[in-house]
Amino acid sequence: MLGLNDCIHGSPVDARAPTESLRSLLIRVHTGGRPWPRFVGMAIILSAPMILLGAVYLGGATGYKDGAMFGGSLGLVLSGHFVKVGSRIFQKTGMEALAADQRPPILYLRAFSQDGDGRDQLGLPDQQPNSLFGGLLWMLFFFLGWRRDELEPEFAKALRRSGPFIAIGRPDEPLPVEGAARIYVADQDWKTVVAGAVREAQLIIWQGGTSTSMLWELSCIKLLADPERVLLVIPDSSVRFELFVEIRQMLESSFLRTMAIENANFVGFDRRWNPRYIQIKHCPRYLEWFCPSKLRLRSTLKSTFPHLS
């Protein structure tokens, strides 16, 4: 099995050697199942409108002048939370996603501590309502679970038509974070699984981090991956300057070249590992309130990686 020494010190012969397919490997080594049936998640999502209507009714029944409005505001927050929790239960596991879609996977690599990181890590603050119409749309998107402050669900939405979007799950999490379908494996197997996924993936997204595991993953990507199918996510220097500096040093050491990543959201590569600096496209201002997210992430990814369906 492929391990740390293979990824960092392996020869070209090692990198090309036949190995077990990712799906076959996971049948043997995956450890996690579905903690809740999917219908539980759907039931929680469908209960959200009743919670909202019930809160409005109870608020109005208090007799206070603004009781219905207060109840509606509270109901909107509670129902939005129910939609989010229900969506986390309802989403497919990694094994279900790979079984349902036989295309090569899209692999999302990040540190567990980065689960839930917001778009502000890329210098992309969430859009705030600045008009009555915008506020009404904001509330609708919030209720339906379409408005996302986190980065990972943005990738999941942009890539949902391109193939199974998977990530290694945190072993002790009660519910998966919304976004990539989680695969759970034992500590002694995760490197083998990641290496197998790196070999087969049609796209590898590496969200910048400085842990030992993230450095190992970067080394594995450098050895085993097709450079034209790699995307590095770069934190904004004005938001997390120390992390930005550490990641730049790590990348320059790994790829043996200067990385001018100051104004880039992402870094892609050509076939010779020459970097391409990518900025996320935005919705036009006249359409931004009709978009759950004002980012055009799918358009950005498609223009950079035309092989994505």
Confidence of residue 51 (pLDDT cuts 50, 70, 90): confident
Contacts 24+ apart (CB under 8 A), 268-277: 268/228, 268/230, 268/231, 268/232, 268/304, 268/305, 269/227, 269/228, 269/230, 270/227, 270/228, 271/226, 271/227, 271/228, 272/227, 273/222, 273/227, 276/304
Report the relative pairing of strands 181-183 and 266-269 from DSSP bridges. Answer: unpaired
pLDDT average, residue stretch 103-110: 95
* pLDDT tens profile 293-304: 567 788 888 888
**Residues forming a β-bridge with 165:** 106
Residue ranges per structural domain of the chain: 4-28+93-132+146-304, 34-92
In this structure, are residues 204 and 198 in contact, taking their beta carbons and an 8 Å threshold?
yes
Query: Above 80 in pLDDT, residue 4?
Result: no
* pLDDT tens profile 230-264: 999 888 777 777 888 888 888 888 887 788 887 78
Backbone angles phi, psi at 275, to 5 degrees: -75, 150
Confidence of residue 192 (pLDDT cuts 50, 70, 90): very high
- At residue 3, the pLDDT reads 47
pTM of whole model > 0.75? yes
Query: Above 60 in pLDDT, residue 10?
Result: no
Average pLDDT, the chain: 80
Confidence of residue 118 (pLDDT cuts 50, 70, 90): low
Backbone angles phi, psi at 127, to 5 degrees: -70, 135
- At residue 140, the pLDDT reads 61
Query: Above 50 in pLDDT, residue 18?
Result: no
Least confident interval from 72-76, 133-137, 187-191: 133-137
Confidence of residue 121 (pLDDT cuts 50, 70, 90): low
Amino acid at 87: S
pLDDT average, residue stretch 64-90: 82
In this structure, are residues 90 and 38 in contact, taking their beta carbons and an 8 Å threshold?
yes
Q: Tell me how far apart the alpha carbons of residues 184 and 135 are, in angstroms, rounded to a whole number.
A: 40
- At residue 202, the pLDDT reads 96
Query: Between 134 and 115, where is the model more confident?
Result: 115
Query: Between 162 and 239, where is the model more confident?
Result: 162
pLDDT average, residue stretch 31-49: 84
Backbone angles phi, psi at 118, to 5 degrees: -85, 170
Report the relative pairing of strands 181-183 and 295-296 from DSSP bridges. Answer: unpaired
SS (H, E, C) the chain: CCCHHHHHHCCHHHHHCCCCCHHHHHHHHECCCCCCCHHHHHHHHHHHHHHHHHHHHHHHHCCCCCHHHHHHHHHHHHHHHHHHHHHHHHCCCHHHHHHHCCCCCEEEECCHHHCCCEHHHHCCCCCCCCCHHHHHHHHHHHHHCCCCCEHHHHHHHHHCCCCCEEEECCCCCCCCCCCCEEECECCCCHHHHHHHHHHHCCEEEEECCCCHHHHHHHHHHHHHCCHHHEEEECCCCCCCHHHHHHHHHHHHHHHCCCCCCCCCCEEEECCCCCEEEECCEECCHHHHHHCCCCEEHHHHHHHHCCCCC
In this structure, are residues 155 and 108 in contact, taking their beta carbons and an 8 Å threshold?
yes
Whole-angstrom distance between the N-terminal and C-terminal Cα of the chain?
Answer: 31
